[in-house]
Chain A
Amino acid sequence: MITGGGFLQQHWDEITSLTLEHLWLTGAAMLFATVISIPLGILLARKRAWAKPVLGVVNTLQTIPSLAMFGFLLPLPFIGERAARIAIVALVMYALLPIVRNTYAGISGVDATVMDVAEAVGMTSWQRLRKVELPLAMPFILAGLRTATVTCVGIATIAAAVGAGGLGEFIFRGVASVDNRLVLAGAVPAALLALAADGLLGLLEWKLRVPGTGRP
């Protein structure tokens, strides 16, 4: 790896731009997934009868192999027209389960006595959600976001297979040209991104935990 310095210098701009592209794909997917999943999790906690079928569907999405998922999205109108769209929609599909499941579990797990009091003192249902349920479920929701983010960072590397860019670009190119340095130029930043996301969200989760509830 004596030539490593030269390689880095030569590829630095590309590493930066592909890392940014990777971040953009993951970030956009997480944004959509969060906006869909948290309200859905809350809704399922209200309508418990729907929880099982909906979680079942979301769980099935999760089991589809990622390359197959990209394949399914490819022929679709609008989504299939741009590689980035395919990648983002696929990532959203994978991010749904951990967020929906944890939001649902976090909210339905709030102490029944606390919820009874919240109603009996005259809180509106919006106040109960905002002041009691969401804060008490927050560590769970964040744990779900964390799992989803790490999953998305990982799967986003495969998005390069449909031409969506990101750090997978290096990996695929490196494999094709049997150049380990290229593979590592994609793999190392991707792994670092995943570790950083995991660490940051874990820290936030720890900060927002509620002591004395017997819950994480």
Chain B
Amino acid sequence: MGAKPAIEFRNVSYRLPDGRGLLENVTMDVAPGTTVALLGKSGSGKTTLLRVVNRMHSISGGDVLVRGRSIAEQDPIALRRSIGYVIQETGLFPHFTIERNIGLVLEIEGRSRTAIAERARALLEMVGLAPRDFARRMPHELSGGQRQRVGLARALAAGQDILLMDEPFGALDPLTRAEMQDVLRRLSIESQQSGARTTVLLVTHDLDEALYLAERVVLVEDGRIAANLPAEDFLSSTIPAVQGYVRAVHRGVEARS
């Protein structure tokens, strides 16, 4: 890549006030314009790793660099606005229209109403929702998949070049999930082509999703990085932790073959 990493974790530790360690000496780089999947079981620390990036958790040791600068030196409000955030439950504001939800970051930055409306409509198109039908609706009038598209549009609205995604499609049925994965993959390809180089850090427990969307797959176990591999090498890896994970999620196939 050559360019400096979009996100760098340097010996990052995170401990709860009661002393329990959720992250231990995590070191890794996320190259700009790539998608890195954080894979691991519940409680492994993958969500915590995601949330230290936008300072939703304050690290206890080490340093995190975003766009080459330590996050400790960056204003948390400005840092968060520059990073897209997508979660499983979408967290759309129930009292905002779809358009206003998408334009949220623009609104809190004080952009003009017309600029926000224009941008929101362009993003609705981008995630495959007709603005004429959806802009004025309320979140509860949408299906789970549609809401997730809106969540994605919101995360991209202010031109964020880093996206943090925490099991974004975890609550969707398998077919809708596949559809959303295609949307994300298409957006990521489009962004590469336009030179935007959007970097995505994706937390998932779905191995297939990780392999489909990410260039690198990182296996997190007990707050440590057990493996950090190119996606194409993951299934054939000889690292025991990786083999264990792959075996555990592919039991159905194995049992029938």
Contact = CB atoms under 8 A, between A and B. Distances in A.
B106 to A, nearest CB: 11
Interface string A173-216: 00000000000000000000000000000000000001111000
B234 interface: no
A136 interface: yes
Contact of A116 (B77, B91, B95, B140): B91
Contacts of B105: 121-122
A121 B139 contact: no
Interface in B39-60: 51, 54, 56
Given A114-B91, A127-B108, A120 B140 contact: no
A121 B76 CA distance: 10
Nearest to B142: A212
Contact of B108 (A113, A123, A212): A123
Nearest to B107: A131
A80 interface: no
A114 B80 contact: no
A121 B81 contact: yes
Contacts, number: 65
B139 A212 contact: yes
B95 A122 contact: no
B87 interface: yes
Interface residue tally on A, bucketed by range: 20 to 34
A135 interface: yes
Contact of A120 (B56, B82, B93, B108): B56
A121 B89 contact: no
Contacts of A132: 93
A10 interface: no
Nearest to B151: A117
B250 to A, nearest CB: 32
A122 B81 contact: yes
B91 A210 contact: no
Interface in A83-131: 111, 113-114, 116-124, 127, 131
B139 to A, nearest CB: 7
Interface in B163-188: none
Contacts of B79: 122
B78 A212 contact: no
5 contacts: A120-B51, A122-B77, A122-B78, A122-B82, A211-B94
Q: Which 8 residue pairs of A and B lie closest in terms of their CB atoms, listed nearest first?
A: A212-B140, A117-B91, A122-B80, A122-B81, A120-B85, A210-B95, A113-B91, A213-B94
Interface of B: 51, 54, 56, 76-82, 85, 87, 89, 91-95, 104-105, 107-108, 138-141, 154
